[in-house]
């Protein structure tokens, strides 16, 4: 009986073995997007699949040899635009980062960014050598970074089945037909929680009505790409609906509860791992602060070295006023030479964020609110001080405050006294640490790791011949049918007709002459 029990446990723990598949992962944006696609690619390789990653080089957060993949793992197929365009794009991107740090994030910047992605997409689809090489590989499936619409156009151009991986929360910009009642599911960029008062619900409805307009403006950036490369230009929402599966980089330890569909899975925490010891250099710095511990400061891969001196001065002075060590991700060679880092600040070009957060002396994470950073903080039970700068970071940090994980400061609030007092409050008020540890228990108690969960679902798609059995009819319905607008109009007309008929009958009765009885 004991042997039988072990066999049954093995079958429950591991999916049924099947033939190796040939998988293409598509990464056309760097930074955290690359880190996630790298982890996914490596996870599928470890699961016995043959993996190639199409990696776009030369953008502001994938430079030269900084990203060369992993040894003895998946293979990289690299592509890059011209050096002249890369130089122009990087200069534009640097200016936008300065705007973010000044607290100036608006939708026009996002549309311009999408315009650059569309231009790059046109170049990719025009590269016949690249396209022919990808077609000759005969991939079984593609896994796409669903943030970039170009990934869908490329997969469609290659005639591949695909799984969409979205690097953010469930209420992201792509509309994929998830049930989203406005009464408790906040719309993307609404900066609302699931506990809405009357005016919050009013705002959510308005944002919900405007959201399709914003999505169409994004799709319009890619219109010329579809017209140039397809005989019948594809409709991006239709391509979204054709995904065999949608996987989201979120977890209900941090996400607000809401309805899901069979074609959606949550695999948040792909980059969260048990910590390994940090370098001796970092350990020596940490040990110098004893039980006070240390703080990790990183504003993400895109904003780790932006030379905006007034903000650097305020942050540096704020860190100098706290008793903790501060490990700050900022390129030392780009630090203003006349600004002396505080005695308790250690500047590093790169830091092992996951391992630092898993250190027993880690007290706080100061972050821009990227999803990966927040999930690592949840995994290791570390409170958060958030400084949202752009995109989904504002919504992400609403969840941080709603869950009791931390507090949020706007970029315009980055004054030294505010920074130091907020850091002390987050570390000294034990309620934040208790909330972080509670969320950590929820996050770590899942039956499978995020990577194993994703592999299981994708192997289910491969084994069953596709994900059509998971996709409801609503994904093929026009929007007016999905929202029953046609039925509402019909019933409204019927009601109006009945009322009109009733009124006409009453009027006719009133005009019938009464009979006189002699």
Q: Are residues 371 and 487 in the same domain?
A: no
Domains contained in the chain, number: 3
The pTM of the full predicted model, rounded to 2 decimals, is: 0.88
Q: Are residues 464 and 490 in the same domain?
A: no
Please give the pLDDT value at position 306.
64
* Mode of pairing for the β-strands spanning 75-80 and 50-57: parallel
Read off the pLDDT of residues 441-500 as tens digits, 9 standing for 90 and up: 999 998 899 999 999 999 999 999 888 898 888 888 787 888 788 999 999 999 999 999
- C-alpha 47/C-alpha 14 separation (Å) is 11
Please give the pLDDT value at position 474.
80
How buried is residue 385: exposed, middle or buried, by Cβ count under 10 Å (0-12/13-18/19+)?
buried
User: Comparing 9-13, 269-273, 379-383, 512-516, which segment has the lowest mean pLDDT?
Assistant: 9-13
Q: Which domain holds residue 249?
A: 12-270+448-475
Sequential DSSP letters for 427-463: HH-HHHHHHHHHHHHHHHT-SS-HHHHHHHHHHHHHH
Of the candidates 192, 216, 222, the residue with the CA atom closest to the CA atom of residue 206: 192
* Chosen domain end from 395, 425, 444: 444
The answer, yes or no, to whether residue 69 has pLDDT greater than 70, is no
Q: Are residues 168 and 225 in the same domain?
A: yes
Q: Are residues 235 and 340 in the same domain?
A: no
Q: Are residues 243 and 367 in the same domain?
A: no
Flag whether 2 is in a domain. no
């Amino acid at each position: 009986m004991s042997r039988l029990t072990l066999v049954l446990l093995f079958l429950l723990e591991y999916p049924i073995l099947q033939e190796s598949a040939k998988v293409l992962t598509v990464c056309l944006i760097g930074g955290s997007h690359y880190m996630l696609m790298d982890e996914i690619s490596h996870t599928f390789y470890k699961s016995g699949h043959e993996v190639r990653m199409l990696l776009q080089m030369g953008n502001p957060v994938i430079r030269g040899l900084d990203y060369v993949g992993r040894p003895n793992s998946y293979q990289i197929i690299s592509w890059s635009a011209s050096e002249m365009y890369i130089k122009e794009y990087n200069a534009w991107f640097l200016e936008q980062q300065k705007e973010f740090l000044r607290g100036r994030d608006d939708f026009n910047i996002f549309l311009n960014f999408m315009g650059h992605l569309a231009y790059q997409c046109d170049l990719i689809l025009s590269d016949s050598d690249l396209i022919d090489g990808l077609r000759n590989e005969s991939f079984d499936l593609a896994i796409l970074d669903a943030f970039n619409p170009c990934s869908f156009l490329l997969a469609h151009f290659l005639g591949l089945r695909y799984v969409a991986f979205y690097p953010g929360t469930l209420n992201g910009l792509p509309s994929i037909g998830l049930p989203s009642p406005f009464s408790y599911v906040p719309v993307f960029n609404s900066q609302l929680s699931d506990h809405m008062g009357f005016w919050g619900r009013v705002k959510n409805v308005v944002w919900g009505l405007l959201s399709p307009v914003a999505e169409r403006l994004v799709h319009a950036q890619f219109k010329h790409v579809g017209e140039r490369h397809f005989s019948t230009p594809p409709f991006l929402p239709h391509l979204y609906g054709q995904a065999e599966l949608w996987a989201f980089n979120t977890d209900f330890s941090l996400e607000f509860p809401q309805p899901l569909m069979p074609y959606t899975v949550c695999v948040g925490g792909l980059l969260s791992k048990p910590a390994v010891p940090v370098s001796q250099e970092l350990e020596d710095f940490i040990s110098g602060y004893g039980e006070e511990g240390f703080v990790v400061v990183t504003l993400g891969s895109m904003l780790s070295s932006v030379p905006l001196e007034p903000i650097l001065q305020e942050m540096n002075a704020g860190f100098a006023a706290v008793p903790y060590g501060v490990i700050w991700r900022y390129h030392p060679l780009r630090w203003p030479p006349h600004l002396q880092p505080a005695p308790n600040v250690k500047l590093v070009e790169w830091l092992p964020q996951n391992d630092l957060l898993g250190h027993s002396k880690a007290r706080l994470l100061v972050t821009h609110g990227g999803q990966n950073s927040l999930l690592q903080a949840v995994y290791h039970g570390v409170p958060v001080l958030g400084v949202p700068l752009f995109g989904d970071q504002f919504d992400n940090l609403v969840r941080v405050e709603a869950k009791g994980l931390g507090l949020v400061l706007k970029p315009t609030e980055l004054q030294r006294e505010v920074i130091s007092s907020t850091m002390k409050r987050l570390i000294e008020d034990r309620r934040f640490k208790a909330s972080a540890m509670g969320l950590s228990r929820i996050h770590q108690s899942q039956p499978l790791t995020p990577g194993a969960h994703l592999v299981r679902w994708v192997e289910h798609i491969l084994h069953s011949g596709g994900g059509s059995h998971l996709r409801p009819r609503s994904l093929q319905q026009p929007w007016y049918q999905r929202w029953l607008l046609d039925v509402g109009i019909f019933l409204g007309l019927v009601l109006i007709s009945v009322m009109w008929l009733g009124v006409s009958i009453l009027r006719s009765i009133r005009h019938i002459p009464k009979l006189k009885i002699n």
